[in-house]
């Protein structure tokens, strides 16, 4: 007789048991890799925690999303009647989710095999018996993560571990410096959360830029140039104190944003409009609504005269050359007469002569009392026009830092290079074709600034020490006055001793003669 036994009632118990075994195995693996074992208790996130150990964070994110979606679909099935046609859609979504999750778990398993130095074909077993594989890697003493840091996802880890370098001591701006004219930046850090990690994009940038300066912003790819510009103009706020002519940009952003002009790398122009119409529309948008028409026309004419476009305002923007389009973009920002003017690669796509003419116009704008900050990747053809140079570099932890700020001649002396492009090569990473000396120059500049700040502080301290109350000075003189008579008494004692010795000698001679 054949007995038909229905074992379907065991299925939920088997599922629960396998999940418990998987959790225990992942706990052991995470602890073995130096991570927190209790992460294994969190559905979805446990796969990301494991991927973080083997350098597969992007795959861990996919596996986490897949497992959470799978759990939600299983809960949804419980509330959908079996006769409802929507069950088919739920089951289909469940199948797609399983496949999606399997792909990412397989990628993580490949990373596990690499880190634990076993053959990669073992990763296929993670698709069928993940609980057994987790326990095997977690509790087998022969399985050790010997290559724990070799296969890190460099793109994901960038900026998560800033290098431990010297930092400039003064991290906050004083009230005295904040009130001075010019741009004053004390940026402590600019960070963001990505892949569940805090990434430091920029750190420890201190600048004091006087009005009337044309400033060059240098740095390799990913050094933080655009991040710094966005932090200064308030578009992406950082942990920083930024003052422009005595006003805090962040605290008074609604008013300060009109005093900052920004020209992006790509021109944002209406090609089917005329130059004159483009600038007039910009004036209508940027100037106060009660500005008289004659005044508005005068401002537009002055901007066009400043940029050398006085006789070329009638044609369409689309018909203009690259240099002329860039001047139009600059003119749109100059309409509001900003105190700070920022340009992102204004010479991109321009030949040397046109680029030179453009930067000479920027030099004139700076000479009118404004601060002009420009990013360019071909600085040597216009380096003589700049007053200051800012050099940003990525440290060994791939976090943007300030490597230098000063005049172009000081920059050449500091880096020991004769051109701006070679200065950038000094701080670029070796895999980018540079010399990989960013940490060295970041440390040197921080030490130089700290020493300079200490030298400034010493005269102030000595000055306060000299300015003491008269009573204190008199009290300090009294001990010295007491010591004078003591020295005199000692001297008189010595003289009297000498006289007594002479008398003894005379008496000794007299006694000898008598005998």
- Judged by average pLDDT, the poorest of 254-263, 419-428, 454-463 is 454-463
Instruction: Indicate if the pLDDT at residue 467 is higher than 60.
Output: no
Q: Residue 325 has what pLDDT?
A: 81
Of 264 and 508, the one with more pLDDT: 264
- Lowest model confidence (mean pLDDT) among 78-82, 342-346, 363-367, 372-376: 78-82
Residue 507 has pLDDT above 70, yes or no: no
**Mean pLDDT, to the nearest integer, of 400-422?**
93
pLDDT band at 169 (very low <50, low <70, confident <90, very high): low
Element (H, E) at 341: strand 340-344
Which pLDDT band holds residue 473 (cuts at 50, 70, 90)? very low
Residue-wise pLDDT tens digits, 26-54:
999 999 998 899 999 999 999 999 998 88
What angle in degrees, to the nearest 10, is found between the helix axes of 438-466 and 420-427? 100
CB-CB contact of 138 with 29 (8 Å): yes
| pLDDT beyond 50 at 509 | no
Residue 136 and residue 29: Cα distance in Å, rounded? Answer: 9
Are 156 and 197 in contact by the 8 Å Cβ rule? The answer is yes
Instruction: Check residue 314 and give its pLDDT.
Output: 67
pLDDT band, very low/low/confident/very high, at 462 (cuts 50, 70, 90): low
Nearest CA to 33 out of 119, 152, 126, 128 is that of 152
pLDDT at 363: 93
The mean per-residue pLDDT over the stretch 378-383 comes to 89
> Is 161 within 8 Å of 136 (Cβ atoms)?
no
Q: What percent of the chain has pLDDT over 70?
A: 81
Write down the pLDDT at residue 472. 38
The answer to whether the Cα torsion of 145, 149, 153, 157 is positive or negative is: positive
Domains of the chain with CATH codes: 12-153 (no CATH), 177-460 (3.40.50.300)
Residues 137, 149: Cα–Cα separation, whole Å? 18
Top mean pLDDT of 119-123, 274-278, 324-328, 456-460 is at 119-123
The 3-class SS string of 117-167 reads CCCHHHHHHHHCCHHHHHHHHHHCCCCCCCCCCCCCCHHHHCCCCCCCCCC
pLDDT tens-digit profile of 140-162? 988 898 877 665 555 555 656 66
Higher pLDDT, 403 or 450: 403
pLDDT at 240: 92
Residue scoring higher pLDDT (474 or 438): 438
Averaged pLDDT of the chain: 81
**Closest CA relative to residue 205, chosen from 227, 191, 220, 189:** 189
> Can you give the pLDDT at residue 192?
82
Q: Which of 177, 182, 233 is nearest to 369 (CA)?
A: 182
Question: What local confidence, expressed as pLDDT, does residue 498 receive?
Answer: 43
Instruction: Give the separation between CA 203 and CA 192, rounded to whole angstroms.
Output: 12
Identify whether the C-beta of residue 388 lies closer than 8 Å to the C-beta of residue 402. no
Q: Tally the C-alpha atoms within 13 A of residue 197's C-alpha that lie toward its C-beta.
A: 20
User: What pLDDT, in 10s, does the model give residues 283-331?
Assistant: 888 888 888 888 888 888 888 887 777 666 667 777 777 777 888 888 8
């Amino acid at each position: 007789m054949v007995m038909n036994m229905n074992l379907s009632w065991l299925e939920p118990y088997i599922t629960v048991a396998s999940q418990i075994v998987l959790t225990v195995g992942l706990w052991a693996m995470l602890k073995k890799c130096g991570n927190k074992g209790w992460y294994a208790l969190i559905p979805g996130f446990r796969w990301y925690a494991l991927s973080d150990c083997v350098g597969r964070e992007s795959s861990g994110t996919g596996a986490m999303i897949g497992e959470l979606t799978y759990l939600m679909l299983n809960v949804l099935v419980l509330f959908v009647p079996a006769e409802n046609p929507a069950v088919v859609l739920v089951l289909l979504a469940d199948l797609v989710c399983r496949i999606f999750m399997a792909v990412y778990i397989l990628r993580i398993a490949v990373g596990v095999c690499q880190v634990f130095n076993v053959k990669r074909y073992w990763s296929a077993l993670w698709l069928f018996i993940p609980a057994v594989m987790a326990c095997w890697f977690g509790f087998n003493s022969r399985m050790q993560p010997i290559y724990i840091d070799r296969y890190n996802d460099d793109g994901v880890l960038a900026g998560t571990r800033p290098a431990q370098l010297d930092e400039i001591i003064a991290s906050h701006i004083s009230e005295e410096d904040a009130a001075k004219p010019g741009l004053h930046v004390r940026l402590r850090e600019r960070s963001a959360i990505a892949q569940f990690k805090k990434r430091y994009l920029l750190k420890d940038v201190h600048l004091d830029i006087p009005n009337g300066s044309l400033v060059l912003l240098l740095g390799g790819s990913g050094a933080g140039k655009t991040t710094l510009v966005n932090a200064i103009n308030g578009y992406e706020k950082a942990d920083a104190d930024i003052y422009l002519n005595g006003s805090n940009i962040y605290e008074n952003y609604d008013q300060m944003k009109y005093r900052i002009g920004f020209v992006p790398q790509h021109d944002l122009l209406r090609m089917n409009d005329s130059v004159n119409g483009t600038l007039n529309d910009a004036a209508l948008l940027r100037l106060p609504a009660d500005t008289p028409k004659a005044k508005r026309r005068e401002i537009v004419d002055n901007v066009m005269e400043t940029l050398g476009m006085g006789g070329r305002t009638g044609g369409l923007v689309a018909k203009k050359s690259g240099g002329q389009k860039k001047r139009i973009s600059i003119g749109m920002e100059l309409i509001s007469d900003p105190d700070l003017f920022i340009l992102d690669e204004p010479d991109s796509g321009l030949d040397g002569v046109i680029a030179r003419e453009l930067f000479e116009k920027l030099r004139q704008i700076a000479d009118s009392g404004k601060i002009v900050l420009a990013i360019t990747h071909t600085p040597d053809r216009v380096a003589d026009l700049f007053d200051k140079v800012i050099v940003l570099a990525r440290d060994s932890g791939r976090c943007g830092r300030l490597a230098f700020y000063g005049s172009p001649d000081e920059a050449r002396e500091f880096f020991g290079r004769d051109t701006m492009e070679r200065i950038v090569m000094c701080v670029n990473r070796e895999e980018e074709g540079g010399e990989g000396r960013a940490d060295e120059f970041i440390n040197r500049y921080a030490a130089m600034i700290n020493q300079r700040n200490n030298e400034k502080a010493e005269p102030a301290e000595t000055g306060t020490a000299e300015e003491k109350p008269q009573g204190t000075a008199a009290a300090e003189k009294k001990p010295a006055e007491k010591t004078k008579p003591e020295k005199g008494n000692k001297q008189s004692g010595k003289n009297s001793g000498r006289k007594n010795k002479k008398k003894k000698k005379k008496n000794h001679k007299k006694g000898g003669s008598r005998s």
